[in-house]
Amino acid sequence: MHRQPRARGPGHGALGHGHGDDRPGDPGWPTGAARRSAPGVEGRNLHHFCLRIEPFDEAALTAYLEAAGVKVEPAEKRYGAEGEGLSLYCYDPDGNQVELKGPVVPGG
């Protein structure tokens, strides 16, 4: 079965994965000063962000990043904004999770 990407809010189609369905006006959506506040030491306001990499060479990317001291997780086939393809997660110096995504695999 082929899954169709669907937009869930601003930036979802352009940035990839959507996490959660919260929208302005939903219970629990921050308002007022809470919405304008940056995250404190207790947490972050971003699950991860994704960069499209082509060509995607898992071994070369992993070797390059690990040589620079970057923590890298093994690549997996994941579903994103444009369909399924290989991607790997790594972490920037502040601990933010970054997804490096290769091209979509035809036929998913």
What φ, ψ does residue 49 adopt, rounded to 5°?
-130, 160
User: Does the residue 69 lie in any domain?
Assistant: yes
Residues in the chain, how many? 108
What range does the domain containing 78 cover? 52-108
User: Does the residue 62 lie in any domain?
Assistant: yes
User: Does the residue 37 lie in any domain?
Assistant: no
pLDDT computed for residue 106 by the predictor: 82
pLDDT computed for residue 12 by the predictor: 45
Task: Kindly report the CATH number assigned to the domain that includes residue 67.
Answer: 3.10.180.10
User: Does the residue 94 lie in any domain?
Assistant: yes
Number of domains the chain contains: 1
Give whole-number Cα distances, 8 to 17, 19, 42, 50, 77, in Å. 9, 9, 27, 16, 22
Rounded CA-CA distance 105/77 in Å is: 9
Beta-sheet strand order (sheet of 83-91): 49-52, 97-101, 83-91, 76-80
User: Does the residue 67 lie in any domain?
Assistant: yes
User: Which of 11-15, 18-22, 49-53, 64-68 tops mean pLDDT?
Assistant: 64-68
